Amino acid sequence: MKRDDAYLLDIVLAARKAIRFLESMSWAEFAKSELHQTAVIRPLEIIGQAAGRVSAETQQSHPEIPWQQMIGVRNRLIHECFRIDLKAVWDTVHTDLPALIAQIEPMIPPESEA
C-alpha cells in the first residue's frame, strides 16, 4: 500500500500546514483575512482529496478515521465555495485536525521504509 502511504502523508502535511497558518491568529483576525481563509481552505481540500484516494482496504482497516467526513468537507468547499462556514473551518483546524494528525501519523512508515 505504498500509494496509501503517500496519501496519508499528504493528509498529515496538509493538516499541519492549516494549523500552522492559524497558530498566531485570533478568530476575529481570521474572519477578516481573505488571504488566511484561502490559505487554510486549500489544505482542507487536499485532505479530502487524499482521503478519497486512500484504498478501501485501508479505510476499512481504520474505521475510527473519519474518511467520509474528510471527503465531504472537500466536496462542500469545492462545490459550495460561496457558502463556506468560516467558523466551521476555524473549528475544524483547531479541534479536528490535531486529532486527525494523531490518528494518521502512526500509520505512516518512516522514510527509510517508504
Residue 90 pLDDT greater than 90, yes or no: yes
pLDDT attached to residue 2: 75
Mean pLDDT of the chain: 93
Residues 12/105, Cβ–Cβ less than 8 Å = yes
Annotated catalytic residue 79 = yes
Annotated catalytic residue 94 = no
Residue 113 pLDDT greater than 70, yes or no: no
Domain that holds residue 26: 2-107
Catalytic residue among 16, 36, 53, 74: 74
Q: Domain for residue 114, yes or no? A: no
Residue 12 pLDDT greater than 90, yes or no: yes
Q: Domain for residue 26, yes or no? A: yes
Q: How many domains does the chain have?
A: 1
- Name all contacts of 85-92 with Cβ < 8 Å and 24+ positions apart: 86/30, 86/31, 86/37, 87/27, 89/37, 89/40, 89/41, 89/44, 90/22, 90/27, 90/30, 92/44
Return the closest-CA partner of residue 70 out of 2, 10, 6.
10
Catalytic residue among 20, 36, 62, 79: 79
What would the pLDDT profile of 40-89 be if each residue is shown by its tens digit?
Answer: 999 999 999 999 999 999 999 999 999 999 999 998 888 887 789 999 99
